[in-house]
Amino acid sequence: MFAGPGWAWWVIASVTIVSLAWMLVALFRLFGRRADGRAVEREATALESALVGATLPEGAVAYDAWSYRVGARFAGRVRIVVHGGRVSVAGPRVPDALYRAWIWVQGFLLALVVPLLVAAVVLLDGSWALAALATFVGSWAASMLGAGLWPGLGELGAVETGRFRALEFPLASVREVDVGRGWSKGGLGVVLFPYRAAIDAMAGLRVVSFFGPDERGREVRFALHMTSDEAARELADLLRAPGR
């Protein structure tokens, strides 16, 4: 398995370096963007948690949605409220360290698939192709495991009070509002490259995504799958409104 001409190993090494560097840049884009300010992380209100009896303040607009597992770290059902020049998003949320580990594991496993496939070709050895397949399955398994666990994990904190955690930030800090494919901006499109086309198709014209600050002062992506195309258009227009 490890026999072969020297030039072949130089090719494999070069492809490995490029592939890992490509992924590393994407991960730094995902976790290294700085915002102009910080969001406030707090316990969600009854309205934000969609509790029975909660009333909508005059002038406020609220939408229910399903969050993609993007940089804002919400997972599952969320509620976004826009009121008085402020935006709040509330719902199950993944701990920062756990989310980072999840992304790094699946990202680097995916990056190793390319040089393993190159090794199979230049060394004419099918065992490298099997190694590539096993590595890809490992990346896919990590991705699916986290995607399935995050909503339930985030709900543990709301068991006693029924209230989730919320992020609140100025409407003016929202940037790059997109409907549809923009959900993967900021580096995540590289990490989820094998699945991006399928998720784009699922997003259709129903996912509203945007950059906003988190509680650590990073600029992160929010991606909300709305209940209808009309709701997606309304929210996007509200977030893009001039003179916000």
pLDDT at 55: 81
pLDDT at 58: 85
User: Digits of tens for pLDDT over the chain (244 positions)?
Assistant: 667 687 888 998 999 999 999 999 999 989 988 999 999 999 888 888 878 777 888 888 999 999 998 999 998 889 999 998 999 999 988 889 989 999 999 999 999 999 999 999 998 888 999 999 999 999 999 888 877 776 666 666 655 566 888 999 999 999 999 999 889 998 888 988 888 999 999 988 999 999 999 999 999 999 999 999 999 999 999 999 755 4
pLDDT at 2: 66
Domain that residue 133 falls in = 1-244
- Helices and strands: H and E segment counts in the chain: 6, 8
pLDDT at 21: 95
pLDDT at 160: 59
Q: Check: CB of residue 26 under 8 Å from CB of residue 187.
A: yes
- How many domains in the chain? 1
pLDDT at 157: 60
Cβ neighbours of residue 228 under 8 Å, at least 6 residues apart?
206
Q: Beta strand 219-226 with 165-170: parallel, antiparallel or unpaired?
A: unpaired
- Which tokens sit at 151? 């909503």
pLDDT at 107: 93
pLDDT at 1: 65
pLDDT at 53: 75
Quick one: how far is CA 225 from the chain centroid? Answer: 12
pLDDT at 51: 81
